[in-house]
Structure 1
Amino acid sequence: MSLLIVGCGYLGCRVAAEWTGRGETVFGTTRSAEGAAGLAALGVRPVVADVLDVPSLASLPAVDRVLFCVGYDRNAGPSKRSVYVDGLRNVLERLPASVARLVYVSSTSVFGNVDGGWVDEQTPAEPITEAGRICLDAERALTAWSRESGVSTVILRCSGLYGPERIIRRTLIARGEPIPGDPDRTLSLIHVEDAARAATSALDAASPGPLYLVSDDRPVPRREYYHAVAAHLNAPEPTFIPPEPGSPEAARDVVDRKVSNRLMRTELKVSLKYPDVTTGVPAALDASG
């Protein structure tokens, strides 16, 4: 099979490595010549394209599978809604007829739960943040396209993604500065390598379901995560302060949910390399240097 990864960055490059490692042909989009050189060095066939630049999407390669995992670059200019919703529609309208499966990487931010309870694939999506509303609108655009096109689509709602060079609050923790937020609220996470395994399983599966939550085995109180990072960095004991009213931290601080990965495990047969933060955080920090 052949694969096109739209947004071949932090997560996409790891999926590409799994596919190229087994001898498959992988194409990956990037917005720059520099990015293209980096992908080529990984054995990925680069496609210089921007989801908001329609002419650049005119010659997408004929492939069997597509992974859409475009990240948001705050420094690029366009809004998150434009990138995630309009950009997705632009790509969907220009995919070659050869595509039989598209896997879309979304976020558990589409859930609005604030009571500390569990969420799963049957939990209604009721986002309370603008980021969550944007992700849900993108999912709806994908679902509508799937109904029209008949192409098999799978949505992966990922918990907080972490891994090498991406450790939440690392700088504050290393400096011993107070962390904004309630440390007793729940944090659901997924190591990037395990998220890549889930994406690969969804691309490979013969008859996958339309939706899976991608998370590790054990949601933890934020306090446990921060302490695990501090201990591995030999940093001071973490301390906490209330977030500034109206700040992005305050908006995120109301969220308190546990994400279930049961369906990912039973249907996609994903075996986690890092079941929780006790193994994933040290590995990520060691790889970060």
Structure 2
Amino acid sequence: MNLFVFGLGFTGRRFAERARARFGTVRASVTDPAAADRVAAETGFAMRAFGPEADDPRIAADLADTDVLLASAPPGEAGDPVLARYGDAIAASRIGWIGYLSTIGVYGDQGGAWIDEATPAAPRSARSKVRLEAEAAWLALGAETGKAVQVFRLSGIYGPGRNPIVKLREGRSQRIVKAGQVFNRIHVDDIATTLLASIDRPRPGAIYNVTDDEPTAPQTVTEHAASLTGLPLPPEIDFETAALSPMARSFYGENKRVRNQLIREELGVALAYPTYREGLAALKDQP
């Protein structure tokens, strides 16, 4: 059984490394052709360039020799780039399981209410709207071909090298306070666990929220990270006066509490890091 990952970023790479033993061959793409050789040397994966400036001619043949496909490449204004260039090749392939990584951003602002997969999507930002369109396109491919396509809506991703402790160490942390604001998070290893569970239990057309158990105010997580490590705690900054990029500010315009009951009950997922406390405790001694 062979794996192909479109978009070997933080999440795609962690999943591929965790899943390596299950596959005869792992192939994956990165956008930068210059990075492909370096990543291949680091991981042992067969790397391909796939992006606006490059498209490795071997990808079509790779897909014909693939059984499990993870799509982690983000959509653009023109839609999903993987489907645009390789939709026909995927449809004609023997690929049986397809996972599309999306975002809980497609739910938009829910006023802090608890939501689950039955909650209608109501994206507000342009990037979330194109994500929802990409979800629909992948699900349509599954319905048309009989392939098991699953959509995974991820909350804020953290893990080794990418977490509040690293931000504190590097002096990049801001303790921004907005009354009533909470975010869900998910450790990258728990994403990999969920994807592996879905491969074992495919359900065509499924949509899963992949998130932790405890949506929490961002300043609370920063304070816990500082307490764990003894690192200096940055001063509180009121959201209204905080220096944030337009994208970062837009995240604070959406407030929701996301349930993960479906991955636990249907896929049997037991999160290794059900809250930020377990996740940060495991990361505090890592670089």
Q: Which moved more, 1:157-166 or 1:277-286?
A: 277-286
Cα 1:22–1:64 change in 2 (3 A) is closer
Which residue of 62, 66, 69 maps to 1:66? 69
User: 1:154, 1:193 → 2: CA distance?
Assistant: 18
- Tell me which residue corresponds to 1:122: 118
1:38-49 alignment to 2 at 5 Å? 38-49=39-50
Deviation at 1:82, TM superposition (A): 4.1
Q: Which moved more, 1:47-56 or 1:259-268?
A: 47-56
User: 1:177, 1:69 → 2: CA distance?
Assistant: 27
What code does the residue aligned with 2:89 have? Answer: R
Q: Which runs of 4+ in 1 moved over 4 A?
A: 51-55
**SS of the residue aligned with 2:285?**
helix
1:120-159 alignment to 2 at 5 Å? 120-159=116-155
- Tell me which residue corresponds to 1:280: 279
User: 2:213, 2:132 → 1: CA distance?
Assistant: 24
1:125-274 alignment to 2 at 5 Å? 125-167=121-163, 171=167, 175=171, 178-182=174-178, 184-207=180-203, 210-233=206-229, 234-236=231-233, 238-243=235-240, 247-274=246-273
In the superposition, the TM-score normalised over structure 1's length comes to: 0.85
| Cα pair 2:210 2:263 within 8 Å, conserved | yes
**SS of the residue aligned with 1:187?**
coil
User: 1:243, 1:254 → 2: CA distance?
Assistant: 12
What code does the residue aligned with 2:88 have? Answer: E
User: 1:278, 1:55 → 2: CA distance?
Assistant: 42
User: 1:37, 1:214 → 2: CA distance?
Assistant: 30
Cα 1:196–1:129 change in 2 (3 A) is same
Cα 1:219–1:246 change in 2 (3 A) is closer
Identity of aligned residues (%): 26
User: 2:180, 2:165 → 1: CA distance?
Assistant: 16
**SS of the residue aligned with 1:202?**
helix
1:7 paired to 2:7: yes
CA deviation string 1:235-280 (max 9, x = no partner):
2254122246993333221211111110001111112111111111
1:19 paired to 2:19: yes
In the superposition, the TM-score normalised over structure 2's length comes to: 0.85
CA deviation string 1:208-243 (max 9, x = no partner):
661110001221122321212222342225412224
User: 1:94, 1:131 → 2: CA distance?
Assistant: 26
Superposed CA RMSD: 2.8
